[in-house]
């Protein structure tokens, strides 16, 4: 099962769109270079100071806008451990799951502040704010999607699934 994810909180508001996550002018750059521009229009220091395991919190409609998967890929490339929002744009949510980035519905208002130290136990559906000592239940990711995340995303899951010996083979 998944280990706990620990990191710092990065808190943003409502309607963080894919243009803020993966700016159009940088789309021709590779994933590593594009990630350096993630959220720079809101927080120019984000890409430089986010660390592996840090968690991003948004409000309503996080990931709204175009269906560009680079928005989720940029967060994962930077090492973001999980994304929380009050609500997600449907395609952005699925893009996160498809690349193995946990995306969870959670209203952080009044519960998480920028810079708070956090620990997330995905298996238990528990978010602990280590700064305040408060703990919160978070909705569980459905088991089939959790398995996909644990395997590294959709493509890794499919590779593993189809490279495994079939139990349905007929032997002579």
What does the pLDDT look like over 83-123, one tens digit per residue?
A: 999 999 999 999 999 999 999 999 999 999 999 999 999 98
Predicted pLDDT at 156: 86
Residue 54 located in a structural domain: yes
Provide the CATH number for the domain around residue 81.
Answer: 3.20.19.10
Average pLDDT over residues 165-172: 57
Helices (H), the chain: 18-21, 31-35, 46-49, 70-77, 90-98, 143-150, 154-163
Q: How far apart are CA 3 and CA 81, in angstroms?
A: 11
Q: How many domains does one find in the chain?
A: 1
Taking alpha carbons only, the member of 37, 63, 55, 59 closest to residue 115 is 55
What does the pLDDT look like over 11-37, one tens digit per residue?
A: 999 999 999 999 999 999 999 999 999
Residue 168 located in a structural domain: no
Q: How far apart are CA 112 and CA 127, in angstroms?
A: 10
Taking alpha carbons only, the member of 71, 94, 8, 89 closest to residue 45 is 8
Q: Domain range for residue 137?
A: 5-161
Name every residue whose Cβ is closer than 8 Å to that of residue 143 and which is 6 or more positions away in sequence. Answer: none
Output the pTM of the full model.
Answer: 0.90
Residue 170 located in a structural domain: no
Residue 169 located in a structural domain: no
State what percent of residues in the chain have pLDDT above 90. 76
Residue 67 located in a structural domain: yes
Residue 171 located in a structural domain: no
């Amino acid at each position: 099962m998944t280990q706990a994810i620990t990191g710092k909180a990065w808190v943003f508001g409502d309607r963080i769109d894919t243009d803020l996550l993966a700016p159009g002018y940088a789309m021709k750059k590779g994933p590593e270079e594009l990630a350096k521009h993630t959220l720079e229009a809101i927080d120019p220091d984000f890409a430089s100071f986010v660390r592996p395991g840090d968690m991003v919190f948004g409000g309503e409609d996080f990931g709204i806008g175009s269906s560009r998967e680079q928005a989720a890929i940029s967060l994962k490339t930077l090492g973001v451990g999980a994304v929380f929002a009050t609500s997600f744009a449907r395609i952005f949510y699925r893009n996160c799951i498809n690349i193995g980035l946990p995306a969870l519905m959670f209203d952080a208002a009044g519960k998480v502040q920028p810079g708070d130290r956090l620990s997330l136990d995905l298996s238990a559906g528990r978010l602990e704010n280590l700064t305040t000592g408060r703990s919160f239940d978070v909705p569980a990711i459905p088991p089939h999607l959790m398995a996909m995340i644990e395997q590294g995303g959709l493509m890794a899951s499919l590779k593993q699934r189809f490279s495994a010996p079939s139990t349905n083979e007929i032997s002579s």
